[in-house]
Amino acid sequence: MRSTALSSLAVVAAIASALLSAAPASAETAAPGEGGWEPAAPTRPFDYPAGARCDFPVHTEPVVDEVVQKMLDRHPDGSASKIAFKGDLVIRVTNTDTGASYDADAGGSAIIDFHTDRSQLWHVVGPVLVGVGENNGNLPRGEYRIDGIYTLAISSTGYRTLNMFHGSTDDVCSRIG
């Protein structure tokens, strides 16, 4: 038991160290192209019908999007295999039936491994907004603000597996339902 706890702590320390040493602390201090950091593609708004994420229809839209990215490695064919992301990101999640909304801080730092089968492995420190469809993850269907130190594996079929080392999940549907 003690060995497992120590190895988990070592993994957490390694992830945190890699993410925190990869770049300056905020997107404002990293000019586009500086040190390989460039603006990431803008976060797109999404609309989900009732039952897809929450029991009611939901609209998500960025209200702050200052995310930058840095290519860390490529596959032999030149496609991305590892990219670091950081920067301020706030996404407004709205119950379109009632107009109730919640501004979710999703500005965590992540290193994402992109595999050739289109699966991904996210190594994250801080908050990220993650949607999970019915029977499509180890979390129940919902829209979650996940915060802490964790990994998120996304299979080639989209199945999401959260492995939380330290942190919390916040069910955004319950905030606006």
113-135 per-position pLDDT tens digit: 999 999 999 999 999 999 999 99
End-to-end CA gap in the chain: 41
Does the pTM of the predicted model rise above 0.85?
no
Q: Is the pLDDT of residue 141 over 60?
A: yes
Average pLDDT over residues 59-82: 97
Rama region for 77: left / alpha / beta (φ>0; ψ in -120 to 50; rest): alpha
Q: Which residues are CB-neighbours of 148 under 8 A, at least 6 positions away?
A: 125, 126, 164, 165, 166, 167, 168
